[in-house]
A and B are shown apart, each in its own frame.
Chain A
Amino acid sequence: MTGAPDDPRGRTARPATRPSAWFARPLNAGPVAGGLRKRGVPAGGAPAAGAPSGGVLADGAPAGGASAAGASAGGALVDGAPSGGALAGGAFAGGASAGGAHRGPARRPDARPDALDGLRRRGAGILLQRDAAGAAALARDAERRCLDLARSWLASGDPAAAVRALETGRGLALLAATRYRDVPATLDAARRRDLALRWRMSAPGREPAALRQEILDVMCGGRAEPPDPPALPEIGDVLGALDADALVYLVPGAPPTPGWAVMIAAGGGRPSCIALPGLHDAGAPAADGLEMLGGWAWRVAMGPLVERFLPSLPPPSGRPHRVVLVAMGGLSRVPWQAAHHNGRYAVQAAAFSHALSAGMLCGSAAAAPVPVAPVGLVVGDPATAGPALPGARAEACAVHRVFYPGARYVGRRADGSPARSGPGTAAEVRDWLTDTRPAAGAVLHLACHGAPAHLALAAPAPGAGDGRLTAGEVGAALAGAPDRAIALVVLAACGAGHDEAAGLGTAFLAGGVRSVLSARWHVPDRAASLLLFMFHHFLMAERRPAWDALHRAQLWMLDAGRTPPPRMPGRLLRHLSETDPARAVAWSGYVHSGQ
């Protein structure tokens, strides 16, 4: 069935890639908590009394707890107080109320809230790092410690507290990714060269506290902490407003402690949780194929969620079940929609969207929806140092002429010739992002090479290399255009949504774009062109919301009896005959985020 090699839209030239190459990167991206268990933490999970906040406690607090409390096999009942109603084969743990009792071995004061506060106050340290890499490293460390705290709270039956910890960790990661600025440059721009000079003369990490505070006052009005996590009822309300049934955190375990799913249902607010013993970063099959990974994903998490949690929810009306996933740690690299069992994929049971955090989802939901019209900007395979992407070019041409005929088209045309309206440079995209004229439109489709934190676009001048558009540039452009309303950005570029907090998708969402479709992994070029054509078909021709349009496009790819819409151009019809759209690698790489 498969014809010529279907190249992925990676950043650089690659050999004809194996279908599974997109997940070849090890999933155990961060250290696991097992290595942190070192400072006198009681086995049951309760930290030593009087442990200083943010330091010793966060180092070791949670590691021992979960195994004692909830690590029985197969998604076990963790607490005797089910909240979601009894289910066949078990129940979901309702958990104690926020700040309530936990299962410590002794009646010692619970130091975990103080530890979380201490981590939260690391925002100032993140913003005052000497470089972005330092800020990101500090945020990663804080997020990991928040994850440890969350595991501890889950083990002691308090999912509400765990949600606060998870949200705090993600808030710190987002702070580093979207709000960190070079300190002296920012001070110079604010005409405070005196402060910049004192900063430069201070020993890194040993700046006087008064100077740090003064700088924070200038840079961010003194507010250096991440926003407060949304209240649980607010999350429940937002899920209802977005037509989603539930938000599910997937929390990797740290063997021997289990992983967890923490669920918040729409309209509710009281979270429940389920222990998932096999769910941990290092537990996924390393590189043996997407099918094997999908089987693992079903066994460790999606099976219990699809077979037990979803049926416990009220049946949706006129749509499939819809879940917003917040996958923590390396779990964000797993294509959960491609989890499968007995020949059936999770996407055939429910629609999935992804969010960096509930806070970010609430932020997206709060913005007024922007109408989608057939006007915007389409970027089709701009000339770069990388190999040409004929599938991306065919897709961009088709998407432009069939669904967005009023859009501006830049890059290369179907025959490889340069587009009349521009070569597809970073400057052209930046200009569009800030263009508030009605002719600019509100949809951006980028079919090009990509990487987690940048897109490879046309060089600004011949021989000037790639014209990179970075996540930082996207954030800065959108921050400078608060009146710009953008309905949808489609990142049809490999891995452009991969590194969540610091990635391009997050930059667009944090900048106010209402919906983002992004490729988390390397996607075969021609197969992606079919999926994305069908996504725009369901969005524009059938007027479906973005999340539903992607879900329908994925189901269309899986349908052996699929028929192409009458307006599918001949070049894409040829792609259809030359590829197998039903292969998981062909349809599972794209995720929806936002409204």
Chain B
Amino acid sequence: MRTRPASPADVGALRFALLDTLTSLTGDAVEADTPAAAHLPAAALLHPATPTPGSDRVDDLVALATAVVHGADGHDPATTGVDHFVLAVALLLRHRLDDGGWDTDLTDLPSAVAHLHAAMAALPPRHPAAKTIIEALPAFLDPGRPS
């Protein structure tokens, strides 16, 4: 087939938009100047002291994180790992907010865990985000409770 292809999305711009959304939710508590550090405000959203974001903000978070993972080329393991971790957090937050209503085979939790697994598989062992992910694990193991 020779249908004209669509121009790819600007994933770099999407990552910055995602970082802006994350930092707006965590305030000054976490410093993250570049998308490479997006795992820090993402993990902070799972902390009990962080106010639970509103529904619209979580929807935006999931949308941007999904668009980033979907549009990324996957060439850089560290970037891939951070992208997947942020999406895992976003989906976990949405799962908490949804509070039922979906059939068991359509809840967000399995997807969140799958992206967490993808993040762990992609990140180089000594990457700073690896430690963040390990610290966030309890939130995924007991999704009803913040870590």
Contact = CB atoms under 8 A, between A and B. Distances in A.
Contacts of B99: 420
Contacts of B55: 420-421
A569 B59 contact: no
A374 B1 CA distance: 23
A405 B2 CA distance: 29
| Majority-rule SS of A interface residues | loop
A464 interface: no
A473 interface: no
Contacts, number: 107
Contacts of A417: 100-101
A369 B6 contact: yes
Interface string A395-437: 0011001100111100001110101110000000000000001
B7 interface: yes
A383 to B, nearest CB: 14
B106 A398 contact: yes
Contact of B67 (A243, A318, A375, A487): A375
B137 interface: no
B111 interface: yes
A282 to B, nearest CB: 38
A448 B84 CA distance: 33
Chain A interface size range = 35 or more
Interface band, chain B: 35 or more
Interface of B: 1-9, 13-14, 17, 21, 55-56, 59-60, 62-67, 70-71, 91, 97-103, 105-106, 108, 111
B63 A569 contact: no
A242 B1 CA distance: 9
Interface centre among B2, B7, B91 (most CB of A within 10 A): B2
A402 B110 CA distance: 12
A420 B100 CA distance: 10
A570 interface: yes
Interface of A: 241-243, 318-319, 368-375, 397-398, 401-402, 405-408, 413-415, 417, 419-421, 437-441, 487, 545, 548, 569-571, 595
Given A371-B8, A438-B14, A439-B60, A319 B1 contact: yes
Given A414-B103, A439-B63, A405 B7 contact: no
A414 to B, nearest CB: 5
A413 B97 CA distance: 14
B102 A407 contact: no
Given A243-B3, A414-B103, A420-B55, A438 B71 contact: no
A373 B9 contact: yes
Nearest to B5: A369
Given A413-B102, A545-B1, A372 B62 contact: no
A441 B59 contact: no
B64 A439 contact: yes
B67 A420 contact: no
A238 to B, nearest CB: 11
Nearest to A407: B63
Nearest to B65: A406
Nearest to A398: B106
